[in-house]
A and B are shown apart, each in its own frame.
Chain A
Amino acid sequence: MTNAQQTSPSPFAFLRRGPVALILTVVYIAVVTFFLLQNPRALLWRLLFMASVIFIFSLPNGQRTKLTLAGVLLFLLVPLVGSGNPFLLEIGFQVCVFAALALGLNIVVGFAGLLDLGYVAFYAVGAYSWAIFGSQQLWHLHEVAGTAATQTGFPLNGNLFWLFVFGGIGLAAIAGIMLGLPVLRLRGDYLAIVTLGFGEVIRVLANNLDKPINLTNGPQGITPVQRPPLPEFFLNGPISHLLSGLVGREVTRGDMYSLFFYFLAVVVLIIVIIVARRLEDSKLGRAWTAVREDEIAAIAMGIPLTRTKLTAFATGAAFAGAMGVIYAANRTFVSPETFSLLQSITILVMVILGGLGSIPGVVLGASLVVLLNIDFLQTLSLELSRLRQGAGVIPLIGLPWAQLPSQLDPARYQKLVFGIILILMMIFRPAGILPSKRRSMELKEHGDGDAGPVLDLDESAPLADAAA
């Protein structure tokens, strides 16, 4: 991604030389961290702090330097700042979860070119698998939803969570194959609608499977869901003493859990990124690309079509399954509402905004959308309601803030924002913010006319592979 910076020489070219850039970035991070520690609630410093990840990755230095810097940032600075401001850890957790989900969807949509509008179904499969077995739901199977528990205590040991993370992968992959088997012969847009239907079916099932057997507890959802027990030394050992000293107050169990889930999500995201990268360059990844570009040619080259598509579905689903288990444990609450079509589209927006098929792009897209959703729009809403309390007047129009209708609440208009993002991205930058090289070439060729892609691809493919 650094190639773009070696273009025309400019008076600031010295800034891009390795050591200078490195020192500047380190200084930047130190300054921003300092200010963030001073005012933990300020949106500006929070955003600047998060932007430092982007700075690190656009450094011209070697891979190892960048990774070290990112490691220090993610594993030391964020927990440090976050223990004073749990909201930052929450953002970090959500960014990681959604980035992993988006990377999973990216395998299906970006690599294999199969538009899946019901992706959240697999997330639900993972979440419910732990929610049912990791809660008291097993005691309730023969009871009417909403009645009091006859038995207390969790039927399963909390440490089984770790087993379920892998179990969720397996279950979701099976669900992916079950959905994939019947529908993979369909062409792209039909597939989109059927997957959308599948997502709705899973949601309707979760909503209604409280009746013959109370499996999902219906619309009320399942709570409390167990969390994996933290090791004793984590709670009472030197780590918590150190943190208490830093924060200036006793560190609670909840704090330790937010820290724990943050670390867990970061580690899982890193694994997911590595897996996705390895897959992209593997024989299977090439097969996905081939199927995406031209199914008939791919068959002619001896690629087993159904198996290739199914593995894409299963792999993408597996990512979502694992994240679902983690999510259920983090929230201790699972309900059908979380798995709506809006959620599927949100993940799709992340993939498209960042760049279909581009791994750094997708991670960036996920971070931006999560920030927009849980931080930016919320802060804007809070700000507006604060202004409404005051006696100020809107500049230019002269209307008092107090008379602004309370329905004008930015946090409620996610869909509007997403809709506009989707339309504008498709018209002006269909390849995303950080496009994958091959994808942007394809889109360009398509614009020229019908004959383009088949003819030019032989030339561009080796180039794109080398660049990736």
Chain B
Amino acid sequence: MLQLTLLILPQVILDGVVLGFVYATIALGYTMVYGVLEFINFAHGEIFMFGAFAGVEFLLFLKGRGALQGAPVLTSYAFVIVAIVLGMVIAGLLAVSIERVAYRPLRNAPRLVPLISAIGVSFFLQDAMRFIQSITSGQFYRSFPTFGNFDTRIKLFSVPLGERAIIMDVQIKSVIVIVVALLMLIGLNYLVNATKVGKAIRAVAQDQRTASLMGINVNAIIALTFLIGGALGGAAGVLFALKFTRIDPFVGFFPGLKAFTAAVLGGIGNITGAMLGGIVLGMLESVSASYLSIFTKGAFGAEYKDIVAFGILIIILIFRPSGLLGEQVAQKA
């Protein structure tokens, strides 16, 4: 058992990190919106899903035109980057319009009112995408087209262990996921902490009324927050499709929930915390998916990884409600 554990350990860690970066990118969107409005954007998972579909549809369109087959390596990277940007644009615009239609009229209502509206948006978007897909393609799911060298594995190291060897190799697409996610984290951190717009966002997060007295257009800043959060979600969607290939209209739900868990884990409202929480959660999930069945001798399998994730969410909320990196804020009902 120990040998088996060691054999798959590097791969488990690597899978966890990649999954963690996907969660982290989604979690950034939750954190942005929560930091400014103290509101859980329940529909964020569906914004993510729309981004994923936008990117994949674009690539499928290229595939239909025959542009993907035999494209040079650099061109195929360019295609993926364009797909990510397209996903960001679509998802960002979607997030802004959702805010305008379903959240802005409810800004002064009791807390639960916008949350319920967000659940409504989430349901609406899931079925809307299902509708669009079934009208246009007759099926609900889409697959990321295979092209370029994204599936190639780069061998990192191999250590002999008994008759076999501990091998660690990484797919190029996993590297892309990590690089893009890191770039977005750095960019977002810069935007929020070092620019004038970022200062305005922080001001609105602290006190909307005072911020508006200082000449900040609160509505515009909130819309911008949704735009950024949605765009990050859209990018995460395309990355998710790249990594896991198959997407369907309900693909956003579980990653969305997990990413929210990650955001809470890291301290909601805190950008670095969201990143950290995402990676911790991705790691935990990867470890429990691979090792649960080994350690319980097959009694409990990978299906229980969601239970592990939610169990952790509950434990964290009990013992450290403000998350790993969150500052202590007074709880109000």
Within 8 Å of chain A (Cβ to Cβ): is B134?
yes
What is the distance, in angstroms, from B164's C-beta to the closest C-beta of chain A? 28
User: Contact at A211–B116, with CB atoms within 8 Å?
Assistant: no
Q: Which of B223-231, B275-283, B304-312 contacts A (4 or more CB under 8 A)?
A: B304-312
A196-B257, A201-B307, A295-B333 known; A190 vs B124 contact (CB < 8 Å)? no
A194-B314, A443-B110 known; A427 vs B127 contact (CB < 8 Å)? no
Interface magnitude class on chain A? 35 or more
User: Contact at B127–A419, with CB atoms within 8 Å?
Assistant: yes
Convert A418-453 into 0s and 1s, putting 1 for each residue whose CB lies closer than 8 angstroms to a CB of B: 111111001100100000000000110011010000
Q: Which residues on A sit within 8 Å (CB–CB) of B124? A: 415-416, 419-420, 423
User: Pick the contact of B121 from A189, A423, A443 — CB < 8 Å?
Assistant: A423
User: Contact at A186–B317, with CB atoms within 8 Å?
Assistant: yes
Q: Which residues on A sit within 8 Å (CB–CB) of B110? A: 442-443, 446
Q: Which residues on A sit within 8 Å (CB–CB) of B307? A: 201, 204-205
Convert A174-207 into 0s and 1s, putting 1 for each residue whose CB lies closer than 8 angstroms to a CB of B: 0000000011011111101110111011001101
| B interface: dominant SS | helix
Q: Which residues on A sit within 8 Å (CB–CB) of B115? A: 115, 188-189, 192
- In the docked arrangement, what's the CA distance between A117 and B120, Å? 13
Q: Which residues on A sit within 8 Å (CB–CB) of B109? A: 426, 430, 443, 446-447
User: Contact at A419–B310, with CB atoms within 8 Å?
Assistant: no
A192-B115, A426-B114 known; A208 vs B314 contact (CB < 8 Å)? no
Q: Which residues on A sit within 8 Å (CB–CB) of B105? A: 427
A205-B307, A211-B299, A296-B333 known; A426 vs B127 contact (CB < 8 Å)? no
Convert B105-144 into 0s and 1s, putting 1 for each residue whose CB lies closer than 8 angstroms to a CB of A: 1101111111111011111111110110011001000000
A193-B257, A211-B299, A211-B301 known; A419 vs B131 contact (CB < 8 Å)? no
User: Contact at A198–B310, with CB atoms within 8 Å?
Assistant: yes
| A interface: dominant SS | helix
User: Pick the contact of B321 from A115, A189, A190, A207 — CB < 8 Å?
Assistant: A190
User: Contact at B310–A201, with CB atoms within 8 Å?
Assistant: yes
What is the distance, in angstroms, from A77's C-beta to the closest C-beta of chain B? 36
Q: Which residues on B sit within 8 Å (CB–CB) of A423? A: 101-102, 117, 120-121, 124
Within 8 Å of chain B (Cβ to Cβ): is A150?
no
User: Contact at B321–A185, with CB atoms within 8 Å?
Assistant: yes
Q: Which residues on B sit within 8 Å (CB–CB) of A415? A: 123-124, 126-127
A190-B321, A405-B135, A449-B108 known; A197 vs B313 contact (CB < 8 Å)? yes
By beta carbon, the residue of chain B nearest A179 is B314
User: Contact at A208–B123, with CB atoms within 8 Å?
Assistant: no
User: Contact at A427–B106, with CB atoms within 8 Å?
Assistant: yes
Within 8 Å of chain A (Cβ to Cβ): is B300?
yes
- In the docked arrangement, what's the CA distance between A442 and B111, Å? 12
Within 8 Å of chain B (Cβ to Cβ): is A153?
no
Within 8 A of B (CB), among A164-180: none
User: Contact at B131–A416, with CB atoms within 8 Å?
Assistant: yes
By beta carbon, the residue of chain A nearest B307 is A201
- In the docked arrangement, what's the CA distance between A341 and B106, Å? 24
Q: Which residues on A sit within 8 Å (CB–CB) of B306? A: 200-201, 204
User: Contact at B333–A419, with CB atoms within 8 Å?
Assistant: no
- In the docked arrangement, what's the CA distance between A284 and B51, Å? 48
Convert B303-333 into 0s and 1s, putting 1 for each residue whose CB lies closer than 8 angstroms to a CB of A: 1101100110110011001000000000111
By beta carbon, the residue of chain A nearest B333 is A295
Within 8 Å of chain A (Cβ to Cβ): is B79?
no
- In the docked arrangement, what's the CA distance between A183 and B318, Å? 7
User: Contact at A193–B260, with CB atoms within 8 Å?
Assistant: yes
- In the docked arrangement, what's the CA distance between A352 and B122, Å? 17
A418-B123, A421-B120 known; A447 vs B108 contact (CB < 8 Å)? yes
What is the distance, in angstroms, from A378's C-beta to the closest C-beta of chain B? 17
By beta carbon, the residue of chain B nearest A356 is B112
- In the docked arrangement, what's the CA distance between A252 and B212, Å? 72
What is the distance, in angstroms, from B104's C-beta to the closest C-beta of chain A? 10
Within 8 Å of chain B (Cβ to Cβ): is A212?
yes
Within 8 Å of chain A (Cβ to Cβ): is B40?
yes
User: Contact at A426–B120, with CB atoms within 8 Å?
Assistant: yes
What is the distance, in angstroms, from B46's C-beta to the closest C-beta of chain A? 10
Q: Which residues on B sit within 8 Å (CB–CB) of A196? A: 257
Q: Which residues on A sit within 8 Å (CB–CB) of B299? A: 211-212
Within 8 Å of chain B (Cβ to Cβ): is A234?
no
Taking A192-B115, A194-B310, A419-B124 as known contacts, 19 extra A-B pairs with beta carbons closer than 8 A to each other, sorted by chain A number, are: A115-B116, A117-B119, A182-B314, A183-B317, A187-B331, A188-B111, A188-B333, A190-B317, A193-B40, A193-B257, A201-B310, A204-B306, A204-B307, A211-B298, A296-B333, A419-B126, A420-B120, A427-B102, A427-B105
User: Which chain A residues have a beta carbon within 8 Å of chain B's beta carbons?
Assistant: 109, 113, 115, 117, 182-183, 185-190, 192-194, 196-198, 200-201, 204-205, 207-208, 211-212, 294-296, 341, 345, 348, 352, 405, 407-408, 413-416, 418-423, 426-427, 430, 442-443, 446-447, 449
Closest 3 CB pairs of A and B: A422-B120, A419-B124, A419-B123
User: Which chain B residues have a beta carbon within 8 Å of chain A's beta carbons?
Assistant: 39-40, 101-102, 105-106, 108-117, 119-128, 130-131, 134-135, 138, 253, 257, 260-261, 264, 298-301, 303-304, 306-307, 310-311, 313-314, 317-318, 321, 331-333
29 residue pairs of the A-B complex, CB under 8 angstroms, read A115-B112, A182-B314, A189-B115, A190-B321, A194-B317, A200-B306, A201-B307, A204-B306, A205-B307, A211-B301, A212-B300, A341-B253, A407-B135, A413-B127, A416-B123, A416-B124, A418-B123, A419-B122, A421-B120, A422-B117, A422-B119, A423-B101, A426-B102, A426-B109, A426-B116, A427-B105, A442-B110, A443-B109, A446-B108
